[in-house]
Chain A
Amino acid sequence: MSLRRRLLTVVGIFGAGALAVLLWAPTVGSTPISLARAFDTAQPWADNVDAQIFFVARLPRVLAGALIGATLAAAGVVLQALMRNPLATPFTLGVSAGAALGAMLAIALRLDVGALGVSSVPIASFLGSLAAIAIVYGLASSQKRGLSTNVLLLAGVTLNSFFSALILFVQYLADFAESFRAVRWLMGDLDVGGYGPIVAATPFIVAAFVVFAMLPRALNLLTMGEDMAATRGVEVARTQRWAFFSASLATGAAVSLGGPVGFIGIVVPHLVRLMVGSDHRVVLPAATLFGAAFLVLCDLVARTAMAPIEIPVGIITALIGGPFFLWLLVRQA
């Protein structure tokens, strides 16, 4: 099958699946609601509990889940190609933790004010992820054959504990009241509190995806090594710079919105590769759509498993992703 047809088929199937999940998820929850009542404009808004649950509690959450899931999955695909290692993800490399530190600092220092309609939290978060990625990139480029799994995992563990310590320090200095919210957010939580944060993060995510869209064929070649890619016509340094920059931007925006939700960037790309092969022109859109559906479904479990208690979604993704990661590690060795 030619690539064009494969791409159409895959986007069609994954797109339909993601759409179905997105339409279904807001109708499900701890409180049963009537869709007819929720969309009944004859009812005054203040009295319409169903509409409030649907539009205020659930819909922003589902939208945030879709956006974050899609973004982290796509960033995972890009980082894996760059590091030439299927275990590289925003989470395992410590990039999410860097982004979380940036966001925490912005919140704790009360820089949370918008300038020209742009919130500073996604920007601080982006700077944090950029710093983390610069460190990993430095390590990767000092190695001849990309980042070996050992170096990569050690670097990730080190960066994660380094940033975690700084996050705890920031938290320690911050108010107790803010602390509880921060803890939830640090676990990865989609209760973003309305449409505002989603709107604030969207431009960054869109910008990142515009860059992602230009990368896939070069990413295919980069997985064969830098020299090989260069002789096949890839401007290696320029492509790497754009890829790292856009992956940082994407991770920063996603983390500023929902906290460092873990393991999306490894579970989703891996499952997608099993289904569609390794051509990044197919993997990237498929992982984006699958990631959106996957995180929304995880959040559905988080919302309903122990209802009325809502578990932070990061715990659900960790419960799935942790064992999955270990399985991959064993299989790779």
Chain B
Amino acid sequence: MLRADNVTFRYHAGTPVVVDGVTLEVGRGDLVGILGPNGSGKTTLLRLLSGTRQPTSGRVLFDGQPMARLSRREIARHLAVVPQETELAFEYSALEIVLMGRHAHLGLFEVEGPRDYILAREALAATGTAHLEERAFHTLSGGEKQRVVIAAALAQASDVLLLDEPTASLDLGYQLDIATLLSTLNRDRGVTMAISTHDLNLAASICRHLVLMRSGRVLASGLTEDVLTPEHVRALYDVDADVHVHDETGHMTVVPVRRLRP
């Protein structure tokens, strides 16, 4: 559904490449985690996948079509992005934020109709934020904000979601809420997702496939249970870790043991 073909990217000519010859495939209904340490090129890779940046070489295909040839509007109708944090310059209510997700579906002077309101309220309900509809966005907690932004993404396009470090700025309780929400959306609504994260346990608990990145390159990729090995964790983070299946959750769990000085 979403495919990167040997993509390389640098922000400016003469600066080092941030993404270096990456090939990956996100299949329909898949839930892919892009894992790697800070500065490994995960966020940039997501920008290439969302088409907000064009690769320096290589190409990104969306449903077989080169991303570069699609308009922002065409892309936005099928693919939505959830950033790590959302900061607003002005005050909007949660409902207004979610309705903004409908932009790509409306004509130039068209205003949201009953159908857009239904979709927006459904999205709020699906993310457990229906009761926050009238609240000003900036008064919400980090976890509530993130869920409202996910609702906006759902109201926009429920085919593909790209999420950039969706839990990085949240505390443990909210991390678990978001993980459960994403997992549910993928399972029950068939939303295709690619999630960038440096949180191994989040990735292990919800992702079907993993792509491990370091210094802009793909170190390994494949099924979570095949890829998440102590060897790979060591190669990614320079950390000796114990990887085992947790008795109660049934997920793979990574416990860092010691830092290896390079």
What is the interface of chain A, defined by CB distance below 8 A to chain B?
2-4, 7, 80-81, 84-86, 145-146, 213-214, 217-218, 220-221, 223-225, 227-228, 230-236, 273, 277-279, 281
Contacts and interface: CB of A to CB of B under 8 A. Distances in A.
A217 B106 contact: yes
Given A3-B111, A278-B92, A224 B86 contact: yes
A281 B111 CA distance: 9
B87 A273 contact: no
Given A228-B86, A232-B76, A278 B100 contact: no
Q: List 3 A-B pairs, minimum CB-CB distance, nearest first.
A: A233-B104, A233-B76, A278-B90
Contact of B52 (A146, A231, A273): A231
Given A217-B103, A225-B87, A230 B52 contact: yes
Contacts, number: 91
B156 A232 contact: yes
Interface string B88-114: 111111001000110110101101100
A4 B104 contact: no
B50 interface: yes
A296 to B, nearest CB: 27
Contacts of A233: 72-73, 75-77, 103-104, 156
A286 B80 CA distance: 32
Interface size class of B (residues with CB under 8 A): 20 to 34
Given A228-B81, A233-B77, A235-B71, A279 B101 contact: no
B47 interface: yes
Interface of B: 47, 50-52, 71-73, 75-77, 79-81, 83, 86-93, 96, 100-101, 103-104, 106, 108-109, 111-112, 117, 156
A7 B109 CA distance: 13
B52 A224 contact: no
A228 B51 CA distance: 12
A234 B96 contact: no
Contact of B91 (A230, A232, A278): A278
